[in-house]
Amino acid sequence: MKKSPVITVVAIGIGAALFFVLGRFVAIPSPVPNTNISLQYGLLGFMAGLFGPVAGLLIAFIGHALIDFSYGWGIWWSWVIASGVAGCIMGLAAKKLALSSDKFGKDKIITFNIFQVVANLVAWAVIAPVFDILIYAEPANKVFTQGLVAGASNIVTTAIVGTLLCFAYTKARPAAGSLKKEG
Amino acid sequence: MTTFDTRLLAVLAVLAFVVMGLSRIRVSEVKVLFWFSFVFMVLNNLLIFLFSPEHGVSIYGTRHEIAHLFLRYNLVQEQLFYQLNVVLKYLATFPVVIVFVSTTNPSEFASALNRIGVSYRIAYSVSLALRYIPDIQREYHEISIAQQARGLEMASRKQSLFKRLRNAASMLFPLIISSMNRIEVIANAMELRGFGKEKRRTWYSARPFRVADYASIIICVLMLAASILMNVLNGGRYFNPFV
């Protein structure tokens, strides 16, 4: 599939809409009270892996900003920026993964998960707490604890949901060179 | 944005509620939003106190203890003052956000983003996202009903976490695959109409500037200037009444 810039524009729009709907309305309560499993980061890993870093960055940035807006507490910029960075780093795997034309084998699963773990760690253990301190002047130990909890839960969700999504998508699509001439 | 000057925050909070009143939004329409914001504010304040009961002391450099509570938690004037600032900061932002959300037309928002210098491709992505949120919500609902008709249990509270995740997956996959098809259809339609060929584009919903627009820009610049001025005058982000 040739990637035209128009595809990226549309992918960002629809991706952000999906991110919003999953994050806002599809909450799966987890055993820990008051925390939900954020399916949207699994989606983000998949969309970023398919459409690249720019799409990943903007899907997460727009989607997360819209979620914050819809709750009415104003945009919590530090976490929105962190989401964008996570999407961007996950998107760096896009070239290696080649989801639209290749099979999703064992090595691809490993690549995908290395990128998503790094992305989530950078975003939630570094970017989010540091910006919390810079913008909102919150106590350091509070924001680092919050960041680590969010990061760990996002890594698990992305590992399960993201990997399964990539797998389902590549199976639903014919791989390049899958047609054989009948002998 | 970064200031924690109590006097300025108090003025801004009052202004925010004035704006809210001027917008003629009915309270009943935004009650839920207000409730969300309020819970978020209370939770965040509790967490701050739980993790750092003496954060104010490290900010203001003095310590006036009022009473001992329990364990390492004391009631300290500096901490109360710091958390008052946090609350004021919320009060200054909530109403403005609610006014923005409930009075802005999505298409006009996209054209406005483009006008202030955001690339029109990104502005168009934002407007696509706003345009397709209801569609995707409806589709999710339809998939959920279809899967229930095929025997998927939805009584979520009683089920194990693993079962819940599996149920979510059986609705997520059809949604994603159909969204991927949707992306291709929309992209083809846009390409056929020549989207992205030119460096600029015009917007059907663009509006000319009026006096009120200039006035609000000037007011915003003044508020920004005030917050920077306060940062300089206070020699930092905080107004310190303790020294």
Q: What DSSP assignment string belongs to chain B? A: ---B-HHHHHHHHHHHHHHHHHTT--HHHHHHHHHHHHHHHHHHHHHHHHH-TTHHHHHHS---EEEEEETTEEEEHHHHHHHHHHHHHHHHHHHHHHHHHHH--HHHHHHHHHHTT--HHHHHHHHHHHHHHHHHHHHHHHHHHHHHHTT----GGGS-HHHHHHHHHHHHHHHHHHHHHHHHHHHHHHHHTTTTSSS----TT-----HHHHHHHHHHHHHHHHHHHHHHHHTSSB--TT-
- Reported as a pLDDT band with limits 50, 70 and 90, residue A16 is very high
Say yes or no for a CB contact (<8 Å) between B40 and A30: no
Q: Measured between alpha carbons, how far is A22 from A46 in angstroms, rounded to an integer? A: 14
Whether residues B58 and B35 share a domain: the answer is yes
Whether residues B89 and B114 share a domain: the answer is no
Angle between helices B6-22 and B211-234 (to 10 degrees): 160
Taking the whole predicted model, whether its pTM rises above 0.95 is answered as no
Domains identified in chain B, total number = 2
A177 domain residue, yes or no: no
User: Are B56 and B82 spatial neighbours (Cβ–Cβ below 8 Å)?
Assistant: yes
Whether residues B29 and B83 share a domain: the answer is yes
The closest CB to that of A28, out of B125, B131, B164, belongs to B164
Whether residues B98 and B120 share a domain: the answer is no
A182 domain residue, yes or no: no
A178 domain residue, yes or no: no
B239 domain residue, yes or no: no
A168 interaction partners in chain B (CB closer than 8 Å): 173, 176-177
A16 domain residue, yes or no: yes
A45 interaction partners in chain B (CB closer than 8 Å): none
* AA identity, residue B9: L
Domains identified in chain A, total number = 1
Domain that holds residue B181: 107-192
Pairwise pLDDT comparison (B154 vs B144), residue with the higher score = B144
Q: Measured between alpha carbons, how far is B213 from B209 in angstroms, rounded to an integer? A: 6
A181 domain residue, yes or no: no
Whether residues B85 and B65 share a domain: the answer is yes
Whether residues B163 and B229 share a domain: the answer is no
| Mean pLDDT, residues B116-129 taken together | 89
Whether residues B178 and B220 share a domain: the answer is no
- Contact B184/A at CB under 8 A: yes
What token pair was written down for B41?
A: 């504010």
Q: What is chain B's mean pLDDT, rounded?
A: 83
A156 domain residue, yes or no: yes
Q: Note whether ipTM > 0.90 here.
A: no
A18 domain residue, yes or no: yes
B93 domain residue, yes or no: yes
Whether residues B165 and B123 share a domain: the answer is yes
B230 domain residue, yes or no: yes
- Is the confidence at residue B228, as pLDDT, over 60? yes
Whether residues B55 and B118 share a domain: the answer is no
Q: For the ranges A135-149, B74-88, B187-201, which has the lowest average pLDDT?
A: A135-149
Domain that holds residue A42: 5-172
- Phi first, then psi: give them for residue A36, nearest 5 degrees: -110, 155
Whether residues B55 and B173 share a domain: the answer is no
What token pair was written down for B86?
A: 């946090």
Q: Which residue of A has its CA nearest to B128?
A: A13
Element (H, E) at A37: strand A36-37
B214–chain A nearest CA distance, Å = 24
Q: What is the pLDDT of residues A61-119, one digit of tens each?
A: 999 988 887 776 667 788 889 999 999 999 898 888 887 777 788 888 888 889 989 99
Candidates B39, B44, B49, B51: best to mutate against A (most CBs of A within 10 A) is: B51
pLDDT > 90 in chain B, percent: 9
Say yes or no for a CB contact (<8 Å) between B97 and A43: no
Q: What is the CATH number of the domain that holds A88?
A: 1.10.1760.20
A179 domain residue, yes or no: no
- Is the confidence at residue A27, as pLDDT, over 80? no
A11 interaction partners in chain B (CB closer than 8 Å): 183, 187
